[in-house]
């Protein structure tokens, strides 16, 4: 794992923890419930990815820094809760950063374990969105996946972009930044302009 | 794994994918959300079974045909969505086919890994119903398990039938067909005549 | 594993099965749905713990006594359903016993697999609360975690107490009893006096 990969995985974990704590804003959670939600959001996607790949020990178990990143994220969310929630886009911002990093890191991990590109793309998307799906299931909201603006589609698009650029031999760290940025921009543009795929119910 | 087992596992996966896409008919999902639901429904039960058994790599990861079967199932569900939904029993039909095959295949897999019959029966039922439970949790519906007509009970019954016939030395492929058919018929008869176990709340 | 550990793990499983069956009291579940809920509640936390730790085979798969304990728990819950439900605290009582044992047993298992204390504490809490979280998700209720009185916090507190006493060399079986009792008392006192952490929504 390159230094850049490591730093982004820690940052993505921290961002997801923040988004998880902020997610309880409309719910009657106590401090502990909020922290728990932040924790599960932060580790959910990566844990599911590692379990499906049979890759042990799990990332957050093998490296205590991930736990500290989650605690730091939760602390930041507590301290600046009112300001963070008032800026209504904050939650979306941290969530978008989290899914961008986690998608590509998930793709890279699956590839490094010898998975086919199709499986790697799905694993990347799973890593990114499953933490949020578990978070939303916990707090009884419709999973973010089913809400209006392009979400998991952006992750899948970024994963495919990474695989194509990787196929043409682009440096992995450069590719990681480009493909993550692609997801992040698509996601924010989708939220800004309320872009959505056609509704399935015709 | 015999050829028959393989074909039925692919078919069951395809049927579950169709049932998953059809399940979003009353929900505001976009094309991607519908596909995602189909995917999770198709792989959910088998993935949970393999993870619980510690059997790696997961079936859908080791054999790319499963992914293609899911995509084909999703495509069929899109193309014929209106007609499939209008025939109100279609969803139940594909779901019933899926649970019938998956129950017995799950029992067989657990037995082949040296599990006791009791554990094999539970694994068979889990393989069959958990994809649907995850699907229903995702779309915020009461899990199919808790709805009126006999469902998981049929799977458990079929699993026990398979174990008994297996005990008496019946050919595995013949047994697979008989026990799957048993589940399928029980399930359709239960839906048709609204058969249910006694309600627990007395 | 000491005899005491083994007995408490069996008892905890039985208590969780009872609590799972009682949990469907306000829901339209048939006998099978109630048993299924009891089963998932009983194995959920330990299964998730073992999968996260990569510890195979799962406890309930390797030792058939766990399945029998669950069936016995379900049977007790059926037979005495009316009386158990009428005593409105019964559900809380069995649930509190379950989480007390499972927390400390989870901590011990994680330590025995060489995990750091921080990870062991989280694994203990997960073992204890995740069965209930899955149960509540299945029956579409707000997870017990987010309800008023101190719950997972008590588990985490007991886990930390165990780790401290363990650090000072206390006998493991004595420590197991003291720390489990600590969780049980905290939980019952919290319910009795409606003690809660400050609500996060300020």
Q: How far is CA C107 from CA A60, C10, C126, in A?
A: 17, 16, 10
Residues A55-88 pLDDT 10s: 999 999 999 999 999 999 999 988 887 777 776 5
Cα torsion through C16, C22, C27, C31, rounded to 10: 90
Query: What residues of C are in the B interface, CB distance below 8 Å?
Result: 24-34, 36, 39, 47, 51, 56-58, 61, 64, 67, 81-82, 137-140
Residue of A nearest to C133 (CA): A138
Q: Which among B12, B29, B33, B30 is positioned nearest to B131, based on CA atoms?
A: B12
Checking if the pLDDT of B88 tops 80, the result is: no
Distance from the Cα of B28 to chain C's closest Cα (Å) equals 20
* Contact residues, chain B, for C58 at CB < 8 Å: 52, 54
Does the beta-carbon distance from C145 to A58 stay under 8 Å? no
Does the beta-carbon distance from C67 to B200 stay under 8 Å? no
* Contact residues, chain A, for B47 at CB < 8 Å: 52
Q: Which of C162-168's residues contact partners 24+ apart within 8 Å by CB, and which partners?
A: C162/C104, C162/C107, C162/C108, C162/C124, C163/C107, C163/C117, C163/C120, C163/C121, C166/C111
Distance from the Cα of A201 to chain B's closest Cα (Å) equals 6
Three-state SS string over A141-174 comes to CCCHHHCCCCCHHHHHHHHHHHHHHHHCCCCHHH
Query: Which chains border C (3 or more CB–CB pairs < 8 Å)?
Result: A, B
Domain boundaries, chain B: 3-192
Partner residue facing C200 (CB), from A30, A39, A56: A30
Q: B90 near B22, Cβ under 8 Å?
A: yes
Percent of chain C with pLDDT over 70: 93
Residue of A nearest to B33 (CA): A146
Residue of C nearest to A78 (CA): C200
Q: What is the pLDDT of residue C65?
A: 95
3-state secondary structure of A199: strand
Residues B121-175 pLDDT 10s: 999 999 999 998 888 888 877 777 776 678 889 999 999 999 999 999 999 999 9
Q: Which among A88, A90, A64, A89 is positioned nearest to A76, based on CA atoms?
A: A90
For the question of an ipTM over 0.90, the answer is no
What is the Cα–Cα distance from B155 to B173, expressed in whole angstroms?
18
Token pair, residue C102, equals 């499972």
Q: What is the mean pLDDT of chain C?
A: 88
Q: How many CB pairs under 8 A join B and C?
A: 64
Partner residue facing C32 (CB), from B119, B133, B197: B197
Q: What is the mean pLDDT of chain A?
A: 88
Q: How far is CA B5 from CA A97, B105, B183, in A?
A: 43, 7, 16
Partner residue facing B54 (CB), from C24, C57, C82: C57
Q: How confident is the model at residue B43 (pLDDT cuts 50, 70, 90)?
A: very high
Checking if the pLDDT of C202 tops 60, the result is: no
Residues A121-143 pLDDT 10s: 999 999 999 998 888 888 877 77
Checking if the pLDDT of A28 tops 70, the result is: no
What's the helix, strand, coil split of chain B in %, to 5?
80, 0, 20
Higher pLDDT pick, C85 / C43: C43
Q: What is the DSSP string of C108-160?
A: HHHHHTT--HHHHHHHHHHHHHHHHHHHHHHTT---GGGSSS--HHHHHHHHH
Note the pTM of the prediction, 2 decimals: 0.91
């Amino acid at each position: 794992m390159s230094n850049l990969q490591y730093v982004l995985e820690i940052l993505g974990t921290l961002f997801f923890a923040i988004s998880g704590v902020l997610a309880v804003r409309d719910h009657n959670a106590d401090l502990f419930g909020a922290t728990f939600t932040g924790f599960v959001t932060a580790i959910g996607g990566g844990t599911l990815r590692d379990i499906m790949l049979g890759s042990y020990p799990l990332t957050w178990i093998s490296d205590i820094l991930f736990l500290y990143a989650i605690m730091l994220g939760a602390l930041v969310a507590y301290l600046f809760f009112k300001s963070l929630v008032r800026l209504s886009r904050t939650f979306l911002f941290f969530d978008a950063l989290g899914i961008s990093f986690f998608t590509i890191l998930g793709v890279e991990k699956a590839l490094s374990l010898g998975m086919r590109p199709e499986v790697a793309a799905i694993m990347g998307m799973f890593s990114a969105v499953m933490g949020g799906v578990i978070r939303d299931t916990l707090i009884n909201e419709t999973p973010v996946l089913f809400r209006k603006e392009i979400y998991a589609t952006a992750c899948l698009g970024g994963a495919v972009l990474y695989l194509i650029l990787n196929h043409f031999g682009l440096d992995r760290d450069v590719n990681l930044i480009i493909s993550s940025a692609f997801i992040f921009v698509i996601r924010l543009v989708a939220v800004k302009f309320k872009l959505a795929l056609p509704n399935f119910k015709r």
